[in-house]
Amino acid sequence: MDAFVLQILNGLDKGGAYALIALGLTLVFGTLGVVNFAHGALFMLGAFCAVTLQKLLSLEKVTEDPTQLTAWGTPMEIRTPYIETWLGDLGTTLIDYSVPVSILLAIPVMLVVGVVMERGLIKHFYKRPHAEQILVTFGLAIVLQEVVKSFFGANPIPQPAPEIVAGSADIGLLLGMDPGTVVYPWWRMVYLLFSAVVIGLVFAFLQFTTFGMVVRAGMADRETVGLLGIDIDRRFTIVFGLAAVVAGMAGVMYTPILSPDYHMGMDFLVLSFVVVVVGGMGSLGGAVAAGFLLGILQSFASMNEVKTILPGIDQIIIYLVAVAILLIRPRGLMGRRGVMES
Amino acid sequence: MIEKHSRRGDLLLLLGFALVVAFAPTIFEPIGGGYPDLLQKFAIYGIFAVGFNILFGLTGYLSFGHAAFLGVGSYTAVWSFKLLTMNVLPALVLATVMGGLFALFIGFIALRRSGIYFSILTLAFAQMSYNLAYSVLTPITNGETGLQLTHGDPRVLDALFGVQHGDGLPSTDLFGMSMSGWSGYYFCGVVLFAMFYVSLRIFRSPFGMMLRAVKSNQNRMNYTGINTRPYTLAAFVISGMYAGLAGGLMAVTDPLAGAERMQWTASGEVVLMTILGGTGTLLGPVLGAGVIKYFENIFSAFNEATLMDVFSFLPETLQHGAVAITGLFVGEGWHLTLGALFMLIVIFLPGGLMEGVNRIKALFRGGLRRGEVRRPATMTG
Amino acid sequence: MTRRTITRRDLLKTSAVLGAGFAAPMIFTRGAMAYTNEPKGATVTFGFNVPQTGAYADEGADELRAYQLAVKHINGEGDGGMLATFSSKALKGNGVNGKKVAYVTGDTQTKSDAARASAKRMIEKDGAVMITGGSSSGVAIAVQGLCQEAGVIFMAGLTHSNDTTGKDKRANGFRHFFNTEMSGAALAPVLKNAFGTDRVAYHLTADYTWGWSQEGSIKKYTEQLGWKTAAAVRTPLGAGDFSQYITPVLNSGADVLVLNHYGKDMVNSLTQAVQFGLRDKQVNGKDFAIVVPLYSRLMAQGAGENVKGIFGSTNWHWSLQDEGSKAFVKSFGKEYGFPPSQAAHTCYCQAILYADACQRAGTFMPSEVGKALEGFKFDGLGNGPTEYRAADHQCFKDVLVVKGKEKPTSKFDVLEVVEVTPRSQVEYPAEMLGGELGPFNNGTA
């Protein structure tokens, strides 16, 4: 029972992460018709917003202590973060909360990145074949990745969650089980909640605002919307910015779970494409549903009991399910006819 | 869309191609590419990309899982070296056949869908192959380490014909001709030429015409009562056989097969090669393959010391500056250059490198038809 | 539309042109050599094949720094580093066999194919007489096989799998780094002292050859102590999120978690295991423990605070206080401003050991150099008395058991040495791991 509950939690948590990454991708796919291979790089840039803020906050004042020497003979350096000297305890708290605080940095940064990317590059590729979109965005992803690598190196950089949520919670007690049987890290629950809120906000935005209505109309039939005299281009820029912000925020919040490195975007790229396609092209709801479905199935496939019967099943479950779903439902879970089918 | 092809033009193309293949060592020597391994890679990935182009360039079906066939070809060839004989012919035949069979299976399922759904299906199959080959299929693939020859392999055919391999590890041969070094390159070169010729024939055949029709409008084809599936499946299997052959050749020149050959990045690489060179053009894929492999092997090899040499004509302060700046783009930064190159090409030469070639050609023909550069057939959304 | 195709006869005519090309290779055959890439000029070229892109790029960069330092020292520049403490005094700081050492570099990308392509370039184009480097066992074994075929010496970099000098050993390949067998043997007594003999272990293992090798060794030695193994679960390489593998540990009754992961997998699985409260957990009335059998300081930095108090083994650590280590850290730190990693150390040693063997053999011929390395006993390279065992080309030396430091004084000060397990305890018979060296190959150039 406890194993079951835990795997459900794992699945939801993973699903939340998958859905959040896929959400931005499917927005861009569905509205703009662009195959964006740089979406993973946006996720990675978001994560490095957190790294940058942490580095900035912990900028250190370096004083040398000539009485002590390092192993290679230079004076030992004593480092104290400026922010602690300036703000005292508040500074320490700020450093502790650097991950959630960097959301505030990530939103404007990613918005600018998204808008610049769309205006400067993607805009010119709306009418171009998908293959060329893939090449140009893949090139961009590599460039972004390498730039980040040249600043931060290739190794993962730890981003601890704030002290207060660093540990784990005893959920089992709430469910009336023995203490200690179902414990789950606080941060993962924060992440799950966060992804639910963001997904909800994006849906509400598209559902209940005029802007969203126009975008949805554009997704359905771009030409007609254009003929109605609506400046769809400007809105698409904003949609791209929005997708970048969602990807970036997902990246920031994921850093305590996965120490970020320059390559993390590529690692998620294939997976997010699978999620989007299994969900069905042009369907936001499909992407979210597919994210949770694949997350939960992956968690259960990784259980020992399953693996002893089907060795290696956890390695391929996502792809296996993708194949099965695409064979049963030609356009994924909720795909619309004619989107990205030719 | 239909281009005119004169027989003379095709013959010139083949002749030029043959000349380049034959004199590649001399041609690439000045730019540091004139050594056997790189030229072998040019030829092998050229075959891979030419085959990929038969599917993607003609039908527009974008497969993201072609590396699986390459990997299967490699494993088959190494097993043939282990079990049958060190002669490369059986290995290559088996590799091609296995690549084709594998493609038949995957193509049969994946071609039920089109567009992005097709791409993801092929990707899923390739990723499954990769993940399994890396882990639970280790008894067959030798996992992370890669499948290698050992001294104690049976090699029944060699034993049957009394071929001796000495104390060390045996090496691959074609009836006594060693398949490493320059002879290996020329072997690959001949195969590349033959495969290029086959691809040309396919491009010019009614079958090729049918595939192009699938690309331009599959629905219309279906409405006219033609079932397009057998045609696309045939194209898929042919390109799978090309990939299997390329994989086999990799094992021929270097008898080791690793699972990472099947990873999605490897599938992506052949897509990039084809688009970079020019989708749907005959020569483009070979060009694209060459450029990517050149960057991977030559640009990554520059280090600070070599750069210092290159800029030694500058005064010292400038030299350090120049080394620091170029150092970002070569050596460990070679990925950056490659990424930037992708972007530049696709922005300024939408038809890939072949468009650049055509523009230059047009330039030579004089300003008569200025601005009227024909874009090669590319995939449309 | 005119559409004509080429006939087979046309093809034959064209193919004839190819024949002309076959003459070309003759032009490129260099003068006769006694062995592959015999150096004829005033320099000898080493090939440094390290990961410059991909997950191990930082480790590769550190390896390259060490090699560049080693070349300086061999050529008599800089402070000489460990050459001063090295027990063999054959190298005089004037190059090797009267030739200055030059080097070429390449990117393995931590992929066997790329690594072999890059090694081939060094051998075929740049004339490298020895290849060294690398940061994973798959790559090391692949490149080792290549060097055997090509007839050059391979001095393995960071590779920890038993197979490198076991099942897949080759005469032309030599490894200074330790392996999973030694990790297991060295860790077991320390684990016994720290956690007792009545423990239940749960393994999470990277699902590929190295992981299995590691799992097997740790299981073998801990079960000899009397530990039980609750389960050994395979995790996909690069899984990223390990939560679905970690939660079953919680209620499995196990009180030790062994993470047979390396690199990014290790950083992620350890970070996440700690988040799940495993480090502070009590099971069976005992404190739950996490063990990471192979530690890398560079990577451990990526796990931050989470490594505190966690046991593992390592080939070398910069805080060692013997003369050799001190000289190396000083030399490296002066040059680059931070201490070297274990990858840098093993690569530096390999370069020095190779150069020294060539000097002693008086040639670069692989068979002679190999014989000079076989059975070579030395000291002063930071690991105490060490021997290159002739039977499997594996270095035998003391193994360090380390622990994540509770109060680090700098960002490099992540690990502390708990114990140095003497060589005698980690030695095993060469036949145990199987494989066959075969004869040396000098190549035929």
Domains in chain B: boundaries: 8-262
Q: Which of A153, A187, A315 sits opposite C58 (nearest CB)?
A: A153
Distance from CA of A312 to the nearest CA of B (A): 6
What's the pLDDT at C3?
47
CB contact under 8 A, A161 and C275: yes
- Residue C8, C-beta contacts closer than 8 angstroms, at least 6 positions apart: none
The structural domains of chain C, ordered by start, are: 43-178+318-397 (3.40.50.2300), 181-314 (3.40.50.2300)
Which residues partner with C96 through β-bridges? Answer: C99
Reported as type and span, the H/E element at residue C259 is strand C256-260
CB contact under 8 A, B134 and C61: no
Q: pLDDT per residue over B90-104, tens digit each?
A: 999 999 999 999 999
Could you give the CA distance from residue B270 to residue B66 in angstroms, rounded to a whole number? 8
Residue C209 has pLDDT above 70, yes or no: yes
According to CATH, what is the number of the domain B8-262? 1.10.3470
Q: Which of B6, B34, B171 sits opposite C149 (nearest CB)?
A: B171
CB contact under 8 A, B301 and C142: no
What's the pLDDT at A340?
66
Q: Which is more confident, A178 or A254?
A: A254
Distance from CA of B152 to the nearest CA of C (A): 10
Q: Which of B5, B38, B258 sits opposite C112 (nearest CB)?
A: B258
What's the pLDDT at C2?
45
Residue B2 has pLDDT above 50, yes or no: no
Could you give the CA distance from residue B97 to residue B104 in angstroms, rounded to a whole number? 10
Which chain C residues are Cβ-neighbours of A149 within 8 angstroms?
Answer: 57
A residues 197..236 contacting B (CB < 8 A): none
Distance from CA of C24 to the nearest CA of A (A): 37
CB B50 within 8 A of CB B285: yes
Confidence of residue C32 (pLDDT cuts 50, 70, 90): low
| Pick among A72, A142, A146, A195 to test the C interface (most C CBs inside 10 A) | A72
Q: Which of B22, B201, B334 sits opposite C17 (nearest CB)?
A: B22
What's the pLDDT at C9?
62
Phi-psi region at B376: left, alpha or beta (left = phi > 0; alpha = psi -120 to 50): beta
Q: Is C434 near chain B, with CB under 8 Å?
A: no
CB contact under 8 A, A316 and B128: yes
Q: Which of A143, A270, A341 sits opposite B123 (nearest CB)?
A: A270
Which chain B residues are Cβ-neighbours of A33 within 8 angstroms?
Answer: 381
Residue A88 has pLDDT above 50, yes or no: yes
Q: pLDDT per residue over C144-167, tens digit each?
A: 999 998 999 999 999 999 999 998
Within 13 Å, how many C-alpha atoms sit on residue B44's CB side? 27
Q: Which of A158, A256, A315 sits opposite C236 (nearest CB)?
A: A315
- Measured at the CA of B288, the angle between CA B285 and CA B289, to 5 degrees, comes to 85
CB C402 within 8 A of CB C417: yes
Q: Which of B35, B135, B332 sits opposite C207 (nearest CB)?
A: B135
Q: pLDDT per residue over A51-82, tens digit each?
A: 999 988 888 777 777 777 777 777 777 777 77
Average pLDDT over residues A155-175: 85
Tokens of B308: 């210092």
What's the pLDDT at B377?
44
Which chain B residues are Cβ-neighbours of C4 within 8 angstroms?
Answer: 5-7, 204
- Residue C251, C-beta contacts closer than 8 angstroms, at least 6 positions apart: A2, A3, A181
Q: Which is more confident, B303 or A112?
A: A112
- Residue B86, C-beta contacts closer than 8 angstroms, at least 6 positions apart: B155, B158, B163, B165, B170, B171, B172, B173
C residues 246..265 contacting A (CB < 8 A): 247-248, 250-251, 264
Which chain B residues are Cβ-neighbours of A30 within 8 angstroms?
Answer: none
| Pick among C205, C208, C237, C247 to test the A interface (most A CBs inside 10 A) | C247
Residue A190 has pLDDT above 90, yes or no: yes
Q: Which is more confident, C360 or B164?
A: C360
Chain A with chain B: Cβ pairs closer than 8 A: 142
Q: Which of A13, A74, A156 sits opposite C302 (nearest CB)?
A: A156
Tokens of A261: 């490195």
Average pLDDT over residues A182-208: 92
Q: Which other chains touch chain C, taking contact as 3+ CB pairs less than 8 Å apart?
A: A, B
Distance from CA of B112 to the nearest CA of C (A): 30
CB C157 within 8 A of CB C347: yes
Residue B252 has pLDDT above 90, yes or no: yes
Confidence of residue C230 (pLDDT cuts 50, 70, 90): very high
Q: pLDDT per residue over C102-153, tens digit each?
A: 999 999 988 888 999 999 999 999 999 999 998 888 899 999 999 998 999 9
What's the pLDDT at A228?
81
Closest to B185 in 3D by CA, of C125, C139, C292, C338: C125
Distance from CA of A155 to the nearest CA of C (A): 6
Confidence of residue B168 (pLDDT cuts 50, 70, 90): confident
Classified as helix, coil or strand, C313 is: strand
Distance from CA of C159 to the nearest CA of B (A): 12
Closest-CA residue of chain C to A268: C240
A residues 268..307 contacting B (CB < 8 A): 270, 273-274, 277-278, 281
Q: How many angstroms separate the first and last alpha carbons of chain A? A: 46
- Residue C439, C-beta contacts closer than 8 angstroms, at least 6 positions apart: B167, B168, C171
C residues 173..212 contacting A (CB < 8 A): 207
Global confidence as pTM = 0.89
- Cα–Cα distances (Å) from A288 to A195, A277, A334, B71, in that order, read 10, 11, 10, 34
DSSP secondary structure letters along C114-179: HHHHHHHHHHHTS--SEEEE-SSHHHHHHHHHHHHHHT-EEEE-S---GGGGTTT--TTEEE-S--
CB contact under 8 A, A273 and B123: yes
What's the pLDDT at B375?
47
In percent, the amount of chain B with pLDDT more than 70 equals 94
Confidence of residue A308 (pLDDT cuts 50, 70, 90): confident
Confidence of residue C220 (pLDDT cuts 50, 70, 90): very high
Which chain C residues are Cβ-neighbours of B138 within 8 angstroms?
Answer: 208-209
Which residues partner with C259 through β-bridges? Answer: C204
Residue burial C328-346, b: 16+ Cβ < 10 Å; e: rest: bbbbbbebbebbbbbbbbb
Which chain B residues are Cβ-neighbours of A128 within 8 angstroms?
Answer: 350
Q: Which of B118-122, B208-212, C237-241 is the least confident region?
A: C237-241
What's the pLDDT at C5?
54
Q: Is A88 near chain B, with CB under 8 Å?
A: no
Q: pLDDT per residue over C40-85, tens digit each?
A: 899 999 999 999 888 888 899 999 999 999 999 999 998 999 999 9
Residue A200's identity, in one-letter code, is: G
Q: Which of C104, C168, C237 sits opposite B134 (nearest CB)?
A: C237
Q: Is C121 near chain B, with CB under 8 Å?
A: yes
Distance from CA of B177 to the nearest CA of A (A): 41
Phi, psi (deg, nearest 5) at residue B194: -60, -45
CB contact under 8 A, C207 and B331: no
What's the pLDDT at B367?
57
What's the pLDDT at C7?
60
B residues 327..346 contacting C (CB < 8 A): 331-332, 334-335
Which chain A residues are Cβ-neighbours of C56 within 8 angstroms?
Answer: 154
Which chain B residues are Cβ-neighbours of C237 within 8 angstroms?
Answer: 134-135
B residues 44..103 contacting C (CB < 8 A): none
Could you give the CA distance from residue B356 to residue C258 in angstroms, rounded to a whole number? 56
Q: Which of B41, B143, B250 sits opposite C208 (nearest CB)?
A: B143
C residues 284..323 contacting A (CB < 8 A): 298-299, 301-306, 318-319
What's the pLDDT at B372?
46
Average pLDDT over residues C187-205: 93
Which chain B residues are Cβ-neighbours of A322 within 8 angstroms?
Answer: 120-121, 124
What's the pLDDT at C30?
46
Helix locations, B111-143, DSSP H: 115-134, 138-141
Average pLDDT over residues C325-345: 94
